[in-house]
Amino acid sequence: MNLLIMGLPGAGKGTQAAKIVEQFHVAHISTGDMFRAAMANQTEMGVLAKSYIDKGELVPDEVTNGIVKERLSQDDIKETGFLLDGYPRTIEQAHALDKTLAELDIELEGVINIEVDPDSLLERLSGRIIHRVTGATFHKVFNPPVDYKEEDYYQREDDKPETVKRRLDVNIAQGEPIIAHYRAKGLVHDIEGNQDINDVFTDIEKVLTNLK
Ligand code: AP5
Ligand code: MG
């Protein structure tokens, strides 16, 4: 299956992506994760990305389109399918993705759109913790790890309240035309995101089982 997962920062894209990958074995392609890996390795792209991400702004389209195209061109994608998480995030990226997929002769099959009340997102992001070794995402209150030890977890730099506010504004402004673009193609499946993590996944699972 070739899929997108969309939703505002904190909607649960990464959380649900991990469950989708476990169940359906598609390749998870998260532009945010790719940028954070490049930042950790202090590559040229990582240094550039950091200057935008730390302010809650989007990384320029030409950089983001380039890394996605490179990843989608790799051999495993045609075998496993993919789940793009956090891309496209501008209408220009959506058009670039259409072009890339046409060039690679790959068809997009569905867009999972997680809808959440924006007022709940600050609480989700400020409580998010990530395991240092596995990279798995948890929440101090909503999804606490078993045997929690503070030193084993970190918080994302861009989860500070000032940065979160800017991320939400940027994503709310950019998001609607992208969803409209995919609605016009009949690809969008709206998912109620204001429910327990496992209930969100049950709804996604129903959609994907019907797509297969
Ligand atoms: P990115 O990493 O994609 O961040 P984001 O879109 O802001 O989304 P998040 O990863 O913060 O949230 P999520 O929806 O994955 O939520 P999660 O599952 O973790 O991008 C980061 C930055 O990189 C961007 O700001 C931008 O600068 C740059 N970038 C990335 N892609 C780009 C692009 N295409 N173009 C340009 N720039 C780009 O869940 C959040 C928390 O809530 C967790 O603690 C989780 O446990 C909890 N939670 C999840 N679901 C539930 C639930 N149902 N109930 C209660 N709690 C829940
Ligand atoms: Mg994420």
pLDDT tens for 160-176 read 999 999 999 999 999 99
Tell me how many helices (H) and strands (E) the chain has: 9, 8
How many whole angstroms separate alpha carbon 211 and alpha carbon 15?
A: 21
Is residue 51 over pLDDT 90?
A: yes
Cβ proximity of 9 and 85 under 8 Å: no
pLDDT at 136 over 90: yes
Looking at 135-196, list the stretches that DSSP marks H as alpha helix, in order from N- to C-terminal side. Answer: 161-183
Asked if the model's pLDDT at residue 212 lies above 90, the reply is: no
What letter would DSSP give residue 195?
S
Q: Which residues are near ligand 1 (CB < 6 Å)?
A: 7, 9-15, 31-32, 35, 52-53, 56-59, 64, 86-87, 89, 93, 124-125, 127-128, 137-139, 142-143, 158, 167, 193, 197, 200
Mean pLDDT of 31-48: 97
Q: How many CB atoms lie within 10 A of CB 132?
A: 11
Confidence tier at 72 by pLDDT (50, 70, 90): very high
Please identify, by atom number, the ligand 1 atom nearest to the C-alpha of residue 193: 53
User: Separation of 98 CA from ligand 1 center, angstroms?
Assistant: 23
Substitution candidate for ligand 1 out of 63, 121, 137 with most atoms within 8 A of CB: 137
Mean pLDDT of 48-52: 98
pLDDT at residue number 142: 96
Q: Report whether pLDDT(55) > 90.
A: yes
Site to probe by mutation for ligand 1, drawn from 124, 167, 204 as the one with most ligand atoms within 8 Å of Cβ, is 124
Region 138-159: mean pLDDT is: 96
CA distance 50 to 161: 17
> What is the rounded average pLDDT of the residues 185-202?
98
For 177-187, write each residue's pLDDT tens digit.
999 999 999 99
Q: Which are the catalytic amino acids? A: 13, 89, 128, 156, 167
Name the pTM for this structure: 0.96
| CA–CA dist 50, 141 (Å, integer) | 28
**Mean pLDDT of the region 50-61:** 97
Q: What's the first-to-final CA gap in the chain, in angstroms?
A: 7
pLDDT at 114: 98
Ion ligand 2 nearby residues (CB, 5 A): 13-14
pLDDT, tens digit (0-9, with 9 covering 90-100), for 77-124: 999 999 999 999 999 999 999 999 999 999 999 999 999 999 999 999
pLDDT at 148 over 90: yes
Residue located via tokens 């861009």: 158
Nearest CA to ligand 1 atom 56: 142
Which numbered ligand comes closest to the C-alpha of 11? Answer: 1
